Amino acid sequence: MKPETTDEPTDEAPDLDAVFKALADPTRRLLLDRLRERNGQTLGELCEPLGMARQSATQHLDLLRKANLVTVVRRGRERLHYLNPVPIHEIEERWIAEFEKPRLHAISAIKNQAEEYAMTATAPEPVPAYVYVTYIRASAEQVWQALTDADLTARYWGHANISDWQPGSAWEHRRADGSDAVDVVGKVLKAEPPTLLTITFEDAPDAAESREPSVVTFLVEPHQDIVRLTVTHENLPNLEMLNGISAGWPAVLANLKSLLETGETLPQAPWEMHNAHS
């Protein structure tokens, strides 16, 4: 079952003051740690191992949600909480990356080696879902067109997304460099214009070992002159893909946001910047 709706969005994304205030409390940091370990938990699941009253947890989660650190996705009668990495990424870019990048790259390499060694000795943990939230000054219809129009996706993604976008239809993620190479294929599971699109996402269609495809859901929620776009990527096969999309989705959606708000994509492809610094 895929996410159906999220809580009512605020008029604009919160500033960093709200983020620092939310992170200052150790209980709120503990709640974020719990979501980092396993994303998409109900209020009861978050409270139970911490011995915390539901009312107290609700107050902390409200502050985290207002700071855009937590996103609440409704599935029927359940409210699932997801960690939103965007504000923490902004803090890293503003306060850490430029000052500590060389040292942190070395530490990260050591940590990654240790984690890889540990993973060979233990059974693999389930890969968490990835959730990204962004706010765009546009209508829901404009965002839907940007997600489904082959010419528009070619402009901000470097790939044309080709389909008739009917439930059960196939779709292709075809390079716009003239080669017509197809890097991703899938099927349309749900299509409810202009607010909900769910697709399977097979990033290795020609691999010798077949695997169950991951699933991407685009939820478009209009609010006055803006929309809140929530992208949920689930059923990820491994941490390598999680790391890849954690860099890929922010880059693609930043380009989409720029195109819709200014009429132009960013001056350089943002994923090229990530590749240059990785």
Write down the domain spans for the chain. Answer: 5-84, 129-277
Q: For 225-259, what is each residue's pLDDT tens digit?
A: 999 999 999 999 998 999 999 999 999 999 999 99
Q: What is the pLDDT of residues 182-211, one digit of tens each?
A: 999 999 999 999 999 999 999 876 665 678
Phi, psi of 34 (to 5 degrees): -60, -40
Does residue 3 have a cis peptide bond before it, meaning omega lies within 30 degrees of 0?
no
pLDDT digits (tens, 9 = 90+) for 39-74: 888 998 888 877 778 888 889 999 999 999 999 988
Q: What is the DSSP letter of 184?
A: E
In this predicted structure, what is the pLDDT of residue 9? 44
Helix, strand, or coil here: 155?
helix
pLDDT tens for 74-121 read 887 888 999 888 887 777 766 665 665 566 566 677 777 776 666 555
Q: What's the pLDDT at 2?
A: 46
Which residues fall within 8 angstroms of residue 19, CB to CB, at 6 or more apart? 67, 68, 69, 87, 88, 90, 91
Whole-angstrom distance, CA of residue 266 vs CA of residue 156: 8
The residues pairing with 74 across neighbouring beta strands, listed in sequence order, are 5, 79
Which amino acid, residue 257?
K
CB 150 within 8 A of CB 162: yes
Please answer whether residues 141 and 194 qualify as being in contact, where contact means their C-beta atoms are separated by less than 8 angstroms: yes
| 87 neighbors 68 (Cβ within 8 angstroms) | yes
Could you say which architecture CATH assigns to the domain 129-277?
Answer: 2-Layer Sandwich (3.30)
pLDDT recorded at residue 95: 67
Confidence of residue 11 (pLDDT cuts 50, 70, 90): very low
Cα distance between residue 60 and residue 36, in whole Å: 16
The mean pLDDT value for 130-151 works out to 96
Distances (CA, A) of 31 to 20, 48, 65: 15, 12, 12
Sign of CA dihedral 171, 240, 155, 227: positive
Structure tokens at 109: 């390499």
Instruction: For residues 161-187, give the mean pLDDT.
Output: 95
Class level of CATH domain 5-84:
mainly alpha
Segment (H or E) for 186 = strand 182-192
Q: What distance in Å separates the CA atoms of residue 266 and residue 251, rounded to the nearest whole number?
A: 10
